[in-house]
Structure formats: C-alpha cells, structure tokens
Structure 1
Amino acid sequence: MNENVVVSADWLAERLDEVTVVDVRESWEYDGIGHVPGAVNVPFDSFRDEEGESESAERSGSDPRDAGTLPGAETWADLMGEAGVSADDTVVAYDDTHGVFAARFLVTAEAYGHTDLHLLDGDYSSWMREHETSGDAPDPDPTTYEVRDPEHSPFVGREEVEAAIDDPDSVLVDTRDDWEFEEGHLPGAVNLDWRELVDDETRGLKPRDELESILDAHDITPDKRVVLYCNTARRISHTYVVLSSLGYENVAFYEGSLTDWESVGGPIETES
C-alpha cells in the first residue's frame, strides 16, 4: 500500500477526472441507489473465490496469490480488463459497509501488483452527503490488464504464523467479533474487532490519535511485526489498510486465516 491510502470524499471530488473509481457494492445498489459519477461496478462476489476457501490448506505452499479466497491471476486480469481498469491507474474503491469490502478489493489488487490504491473514507455515504451522485453506468473501453509480481507481498503462510506465536517481536491480531474470539483463537492472539477503528457516526476511520491509542492499548505497535487473521481474510483487509495508512511497515496478512489453520488441526485457545 502507498501513503495517503485512505482519502476523503473531497479529495476524490477534486481528482474525479484523474482517477478510476471502483464501486464494489452489488449491482442493484450501484444501479438503484446511485454511485459516484464515472465509477465502474465490480461487485464483491465477482472477485471472491469462495471455492478456494476449502482448498487453502492444500495450496498454502504455492503462490499465495492463487490460494485461499483470491480469485487467481487470470480471473483478476479479465475482471479488471472488462471494467476498463489498467494496472497503472490510480484506483479509489468504496462500498457502503465502512470500507471492509472495498478494502478487500484493494488488497486483492495489491496482491496482483497494482500499486496506486486508495480507500474512500466513510464509504459511499460520505460521498452522498456532500457530492452529486449518478445513476448512469459508464461504458468503459476494455483494457488488457497486466498482472505483476508485487515488490513486496504481505501474504504469509501457516509456517510463518506458527513462528510468530512464540516471537516476542510479533503480535498476532484477531480482527473478529469478541464472541468469535472467545469461542476459539490462535494461541497468544489479541482481539481487535476491525470495527473498533471505525466511527459509527461518520462511517469513516476514527481520528489518527484515537486510532493510535486503540492500537497501543492492544500492544499493536509499529516496532512489532503485526500478523493479521480473521476467518476468511475479509475483515483483516480493512485493518491492513488502516495500518498501512498509519505507516506500519511490517504487517503480515494470513490469507488462509482461521479456515486454513483449523483445516490442519492447528492449536486453538478458548481463553483470553
């Protein structure tokens, strides 16, 4: 992720003709409720490889971009090409769920080598409050999207997660609900529900000082290696984007998450 990864609606409005905007809501929302003018619709389910979840354990030793819930390089390239997105575009993604689905889109794009990526802070509602919406869907010219090897990949497999459990310089972060955490989590993990970082009223991120205070209280500090997991890697996408926006440089993304961990009988704790 790059700097300034989380951007405001005003930031987007000033650059609307210079960026590619991707709306990851369902098509009925995109068409029926309206969208950011010029935004293309790439629904969340179109880049979510649900079948891959059951195979993540078998493929965890292969290219992480083809494991777990990522769609696969060819599928991703076709999807982006049909939407008129080029690999060098400045992309701003949004949803209507505090950014968690849009964040998953951005992490997927990063996995396939896209670098200029941004999340709209406050989701679609932040745009609707102050700016004009559109009901007209653009007709983008298809592109040949180039999948690239990222300069740095945050994706880690099970062995690296196992090593982090006993590493005092690492912290395992479970981004699920507290009740899920209590039912079972990775040994030594701390629980930080991804929504703790979001302001319920604005639907955007809490102020930076408040974010840093929350993270510090959970011992999630920039000097440590932060290893993120949830169930199927959706919720950690949002936390990953937040940490990237705060300048955390050593963040690991366990794509297989708890689905992969439990599939091979990894140890589970049930106490905080």
Structure 2
Amino acid sequence: MTNIPLIVEGDWLEARLNDKNLRLIDATTFLKIPEGEGYPELWSGFEAYQEEHIPGAAYADLLKDFTNPEGKAPFTIATREQFLKAVEPLGITKDTYVVIYDRGPLVNVDILASDWSARLRWQLKYEGFDNVAVLDGGFRKWKLDGRPTESGISTYTPAPFQGKRSEHLIVTKEEVKAALGNENIILINSLSEADFRGETTTYPRPGHIPGSKHAFFGSHSNPETRLLYDDETLRATFEKLGALDPNKKVITYCGGGIAATWNALLLNKLGQENVAVYDGSMNEWASDESCPLVTLV
C-alpha cells in the first residue's frame, strides 16, 4: 500500500490488522515532569507493551535503541549505524507501510498528542522511509473504543533497511543561530505557554529562542473526542504563525526534539513540506550561555 494518510483513525487500522504488508509499531515511552526543579524522568514502555498492545504490534524502544547515548543533549537522534541496527527487526521494506502509536506524551499530565509516535515517524522519514502513519488518539483512544488488544511480544521478519537520509529534515544549533532574524524562516516553540514565557525551571535556562512563535503541541486535539481537530481548525492555528507559507522554511523545537515532531507532522499534514526539527532543542540551546533566550515574565 502506498501513500497512506499521515494520520489514521481506529476504524482504518482495525480493518488492516491482518494485512501482511502492515508494520504496526508501539513506540510508547514514559516521561514524567517533576513538580519542582529537575530534568523529566524517562523510562521505556516495553513492560507496558508486554502487558497489553494492539494485536500484532512490535515494540520500538525509542529511549534505548533509537537514541544516541553519546549525543550532546538528552534524546539525541541515533547515528545511522545505530538506527539501521534498531530498525532491522521491524521488517520495514519498500513493500510495507508503517503505522505507529503510543500511550501519550506524559504519565502525570493528560495531554492529547502522539509525540512519541511522531518522533519515530520523523526518524523513519529522515532515514528515508515515507510511507508512515500515526494513529490518532493513540492506544488510549483505541482502548476507549473497545478495540482488541493482546499481551506478550509480537515480532516481524527482520529485513535490511534501504532508505537514504534526508538531511534537510534536521537542523543543528549552529543552523538555528544562523536563522535568527531571517524573515524567511519561522521558528516554532512547541512547549507549554509557561515554558515559552520562561516561568518553568525544566531546562538549564528559562525562556524561548528569540523570534520564536508559539504552538503548544498538546493543543491540537479535541478533549471530548480525543482526536485531532479538523484541518480547518489546525490550519487556522498555523496560518496565524505564518507557518503555512510555501515560500518559508519552518523549524520546530521543544525540550528534547519530541514534541517538535508532532507539530512537524501536523504541518506536513496541512501541506507544508519545508519543515525541519531542531533535534537538540532547549536541552542543548539552554545549556549554551552563548545562545540567547527571551522570557516574558
């Protein structure tokens, strides 16, 4: 199957669970924001996956296997070598398509977004595989709808990954510095309003990158349906930031390059393809005193 939607709903996925070309992936990772100061606590979702997952889904450990432990900032994207080793067991080939889901971004706050899924989707796209969708509402919505689940571990026949990297989908700290003041580049901070304003102490220094626009990654879904708002509503959110102008480049960032990929996915959904993610995000930027920050408090 080619050209699947970027976002799919439960009915769409359930009808295809037995498709031999489907590669269904659980990307659950747990993150807990501390009540006081300190870096968020992160841990693998593998045990939760073993207890219950969508039938046939394999598990991808973003924290352990798809992250470079020697990176400059927490959750730095894996090297090509690391990625190839991690992705081979998922059996992704040119004849397959991928659907990814997770259990939500945080364990202590109910935010409606599938940013861990979006992160893996972005990594696959970066490494050269585009036929990827994210399940709207994730595992929580799947369960609320009474759809089937199973326990244990599911696997696919391993296959070598053939894609080639698309380097334009990622930017470095130096490239963000060079973008400051460039009217043809839109910087989008994907964190909460409090983080954007500089009211929190989650990162080494508070605030946001100068000139950034703000679009909280957790504000794009309807709390009643737990599904994304329609395209008209999403379009209005990003249009007011100038982010849908085809003549401009968009750079999304957040704390560690996770939430930023959710905004990047939605921009792609709305037709904006010129989108890159600042992988180091605030973890890296705020650690460097030479990188300017703006606060609104």
Output the TM-score relative to the length of structure 1.
Answer: 0.85
Q: Which amino acid aligns with 2:283?
A: T
Deviations 1:34-75 (A, max 9, x none): 22111101133233426344x25xxxxxxxxxx961122222
Q: Percent identity?
A: 26
- Which residue does the alignment assign to 1:4? 5
Tell me which of 230, 249, 268 is aligned to 1:244: 268
1:119-130 matches, within 5 Å, as 119-128=134-143, 129-130=145-146
Matched, 1:106 2:121: yes
Matched, 1:24 2:27: yes
Matched, 1:163 2:178: yes
Report the CA distance between 1:102 and its aligned residue.
Answer: 0.8
Q: 1:151 to 1:231 in 2, by over 3 A?
A: closer
Mapped to 2, the partners of 1:244 and 1:190 lie a distance apart of 18
Contact 2:191–2:259 at 8 Å: present in 1 too? Answer: yes
Q: Aligned residue pairs: how many? A: 258
* SS of the residue 2:182 aligns to: coil
* SS of the residue 1:20 aligns to: strand
* Worse-matched range after superposition: 241-250 or 135-144: 135-144
Unaligned runs of 5+ in 1: 57-66
Q: 1:141 to 1:4 in 2, by over 3 A?
A: closer
Q: 1:241 to 1:137 in 2, by over 3 A?
A: same
- Which residue does the alignment assign to 2:280? 256
Mapped to 2, the partners of 1:253 and 1:93 lie a distance apart of 19
Contact 1:222–1:249 at 8 Å: present in 2 too? Answer: no
* SS of the residue 1:51 aligns to: coil
Mapped to 2, the partners of 1:118 and 1:85 lie a distance apart of 13
* SS of the residue 1:104 aligns to: helix
- Which residue does the alignment assign to 1:178? 193
Tell me which of 55, 59, 63 is aligned to 1:37: 55
Alpha carbon RMSD of aligned pairs, Å? 2.3
- Which residue does the alignment assign to 2:158? 142
Contact 1:24–1:95 at 8 Å: present in 2 too? Answer: yes
Contact 1:52–1:68 at 8 Å: present in 2 too? Answer: no
Matched, 1:131 2:147: yes
Contact 1:88–1:114 at 8 Å: present in 2 too? Answer: no
Unaligned runs of 5+ in 2: 29-44, 105-112, 199-206
Report the CA distance between 1:106 and its aligned residue.
Answer: 0.9
* Worse-matched range after superposition: 167-176 or 131-140: 131-140
Output the TM-score relative to the length of structure 2.
Answer: 0.78
Q: Which amino acid aligns with 2:91?
A: G
Deviations 1:203-250 (A, max 9, x none): 321111111112223333333321111121011011111111111121
Mapped to 2, the partners of 1:161 and 1:80 lie a distance apart of 29
Deviations 1:182-208 (A, max 9, x none): 111111111211011122233321111
Mapped to 2, the partners of 1:41 and 1:156 lie a distance apart of 28
* Worse-matched range after superposition: 14-23 or 160-169: 160-169
Tell me which of 76, 79, 91 is aligned to 2:98: 91
Report the CA distance between 1:28 and its aligned residue.
Answer: 2.0
Mapped to 2, the partners of 1:39 and 1:20 lie a distance apart of 7
Deviations 1:122-160 (A, max 9, x none): 1013323153222243243232333x3235631122333
Higher relative contact order (CA 8 A, sep 6+): 1
